[in-house]
């Protein structure tokens, strides 16, 4: 069993790679972003509370996301966990270390997907996903088919995130550099960090991650 963190700025491709690892290795993806969007879709009290913060591109409190992750870790995962979008602050990183230790689990690798800022803006501003299956599309590099149907599942439900606009993206990048990028030093010092080039093709990134996982 392998537990890993995918670390990188918004738009680095963490979700795409996590989906692949789920399919190919039976790992369980824990995306706090997905969990928070689900809470909003369900109309829960917590979902309502965080909606504005997320739309602006700011981080929600450590307390909320640590609570979400604690529940999921307690459920266990035979193929291991992929932490995607968590931890995002040093406080979350410490909390994750404690939660894993409590469950007798270890962290096997932290993979940084390095991407430059100009590429991120281009990737994110054209992004959409399929409401049916989660397939990720991009207006320029991977557009929807002419008939408007998802090539994977046939759904016509095109979803765009409220925070995938230029203003929110600026805030998300600033939050990343101020609060999340210190985690690179933190995990480097612990000896857990491997950096890969997130700008290579999807397949090359896949291979790089596979090499780290062995
Ligand atoms: P991306 O990586 O594309 O920015 P995510 O889907 O991971 O997006 O997260 C979307 C938003 O959800 C974040 O901008 C933030 O508001 C909130 N969020 C997700 N994960 C966390 C976290 N670990 N800590 C605080 N806020 C989070
Ligand atoms: Zn689909």
pLDDT in tens, the chain (214 residues): 799 999 999 889 898 899 999 999 999 999 999 999 999 999 999 999 999 999 999 999 999 999 999 999 999 899 999 999 999 999 999 999 999 999 999 999 999 999 988 888 888 888 999 999 989 899 999 999 999 999 999 999 999 988 998 899 999 999 999 999 999 999 999 999 999 999 999 899 999 999 999 8
Are 106 and 100 contacting, i.e. CB atoms less than 8 angstroms apart? Answer: yes
Q: Which of 14, 19, 72, 123 is catalytic?
A: 14
Q: Which of 49, 161, 179, 206 is catalytic?
A: 161
**37 given a catalytic annotation:** no
Task: Calculate the CA dihedral of residues 65, 185, 14, 163 and round it to 10 degrees.
Answer: 60
Rounded Cα distance, 33 and 58, in Å: 12
**56 given a catalytic annotation:** no
Cα(178) to ligand 1 centroid in Å equals 14
Q: Whose CA is nearest to atom 4 of ligand 1?
A: 10
Rounded Cα distance, 60 and 75, in Å: 23
């Amino acid at each position: 069993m392998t537990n890993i963190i995918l670390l990188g700025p918004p738009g680095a491709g963490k979700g795409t790679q996590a989906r692949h690892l789920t399919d190919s290795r039976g790992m369980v993806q824990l995306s706090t972003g997905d969990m928070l969007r689900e809470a909003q879709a369900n109309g829960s009290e917590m979902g309502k509370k965080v909606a504005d913060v997320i739309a602006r591109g700011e981080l929600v409190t450590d307390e909320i996301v640590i609570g979400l992750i604690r529940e999921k870790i307690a459920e266990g995962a035979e193929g291991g966990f992929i932490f995607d979008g968590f931890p995002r602050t040093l406080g979350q990183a410490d909390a994750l270390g404690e939660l894993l230790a409590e469950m007798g689990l270890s962290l096997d690798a932290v993979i940084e997907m390095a991407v430059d800022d100009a590429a991120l803006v281009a990737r994110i501003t054209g992004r959409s996903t399929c409401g049916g299956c989660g397939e990720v599309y991009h207006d320029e590099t991977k557009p929807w088919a002419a008939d408007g149907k998802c090539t994977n599942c046939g759904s016509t439900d095109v979803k765009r995130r409220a925070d995938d606009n230029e203003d929110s993206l600026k805030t998300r990048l600033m939050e990343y550099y101020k609060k999340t990028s210190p985690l690179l030093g933190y995990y480097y010092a612990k000896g857990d960090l491997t950096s890969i080039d997130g700008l290579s093709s999807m397949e090359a990134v896949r291979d790089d991650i596979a090499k780290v996982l062995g």
